Amino acid sequence: MPSAAPRDRFGLTWHPLLAGAILTHGHRLDIVEVIPEGRFLDSRRAHRALRTLARQIPVAIHGVSLGLASAEGLDVARLDAFARLMDDVVPEHWSDHLAFVRAGGVELGHLAAPTRSALTVEATAENLDRAARRVGASPLAENVSTLLDPPGSDRSEQAWLLALLEASGSDLLLDLHNLVTNGQNLGYDPLALVDALPAHRIRAIHIAGGTEVVATTGEARLLDDHRHAVPDSVYALLERVGERVPHAIDVILERDGAFPTFEALLGELDRARVALAAGRARRAAAVATTPIVVRPAMDRLSNAGGVHRAAGSLERERGRQARVEALLASLYVDGAARERWLVDPDGESRRAGLDDAAREAVRSIDRAGLELAAASFAHKRVGRS
C-alpha cells in the first residue's frame, strides 16, 4: 500500500496591513511566518500578542538581523532576544538568512550576500552552531539574492551551499525566487541547483516575486522585492521540490508591499498548492515504478568543501574577511565613500586595510550591480525608518 502523502503547509508572512485579513481567513492558512524585528523581538507585551496568535494558527519566526554569514560573528544580545522570544512563543521553527547585515560599525538595513569561499563556509557554520546553542534550537538557513557577484568568491552558489550543509547541522529554508534572481544575475540554472541540493535538508520554502531594475549604464538585473506576483519560474521550481523532497514542508508566500487583494494572495497560495501537488504526484508515480535514490550531500560535492583551520588561523582569516565586509558595507550605504572608491579603488581599499589579494578581488566588483545594490539598500532603510 502506498504511503500517505506528506501534509504540506501553506501560509503568508505576517504584515500589519494583512493582520486583520489573516485572522479573518485563518481557516485558509496553515501557518503564518512572523518577522520579529521592529515589533516583537524585545517587547514582552508583543510576545504575549504573538503567543496569542500562535494559539490560533501555527507561527514560524523569521529573523532578518542576525547576519548568520558575517565574518564578524554574531551579536550575543540579539541571540538572547531570539531565545526569549522562542521561549515565550514556542514557534514551529525559526530561521534567518545566509547574509551579513552589518560590518565595521555600519548597519546595512538589509541582507548582503557573503563572499563564497572556504572561510565563509567555516565562519557561517560556526555562527549557525552558536545560534543553535544560544537559542536552544537550530535555525533554518535561508539562501539570499544578490544584485552582484560577491567579490572574492572562489566557488558557485551551489558549491557554497553544499559545503555549508556538509559543515553545519542547520537545514535549509530554500527561497525559490532568490534562486531565480541569482540564476539570472549570476548566470546559472536554478533548476540544476535545486536538483543538486540534498532533498532531506530542505525543510521550508519561500516564494515571492520581483522586478527588473536598470542601472545608469543600461544594464539590467532582477531584484527580489517581494512586491510583485510570484512568477511562473518559481512555481516550476516548486513542482521540482515536490518531486524531490519526501517529507512535509512549509511553503510561505512573502509580500512586503504593493499589496493586491487578500483573495489574490490566497490565489497565489492555491497555485502553490497545485504546483507542489503536481510534483508530489510525479514522485509517487516514480516511486511506484523505480525507487528514487537520493545520494548523500557529500556525494554531490565537487571541490566545494574547505580545509578546517586551526583556531588562530581561522580568526586571522575572519578578520581579513571582516575588513572586506566593512568596505562593502560602506560602499553599499555611503554615497561619498562609493564615489571615492569608484575614482580610486586601490587607494580606498588600502585605506580600509585590505591586503593585495583582497584589493584585487574588490577591484573587480560589478559597477552596475553595485549601483543597483546601493539603491536597493537605501530603499530598504527608508522603508524601515
Which grid cell sits at 250? 512549509
* Confidence at residue 41, expressed as pLDDT on a 0 to 100 scale: 86
Q: Which residues, at least 6 apart from 329, have a Cβ–Cβ distance to it below 8 Å?
A: 100, 102, 103, 104, 106, 108, 112
- 291-307 burial, b for 16+ CB within 10 Å, e for fewer? eeeeeebeebeeebbbe
CB 282 within 8 A of CB 39: no
Which pLDDT value is given to residue 307? 44
Q: Which of 16, 53, 50, 9 is nearest to 31 (CA)?
A: 9
Please tell me the predicted confidence (pLDDT) of residue 299: 34
Question: Residue type for 275, please?
Answer: A
Residues 6+ apart with CB under 8 A from 54: 89, 90, 91
pLDDT at 301: 33
CATH numeric code, 9-308: 3.20.20.150
Listed by start position, the domains of the chain span 9-308
What integer pLDDT is reported at residue 306 of this predicted model?
43
What pLDDT does 286 receive? 85
Summarize pLDDT for 66-118 with one digit per residue, the tens.
Answer: 999 999 999 999 999 999 999 999 999 999 999 999 999 999 988 999 999 99
Alpha-carbon distance of 239 to 126, in angstroms, equals: 33
Look up residue 341 and give its three cell numbers: 572608491
Residue with cell 525543510: 203
Count H helices and E strands in the chain, helices first. Answer: 15, 12
The stretches in the chain having pLDDT less than 70 are: 1-5, 290-312, 382-385
Give the three cell numbers for residue 257: 508591499
The set of cell numbers assigned to 245 is 523532497
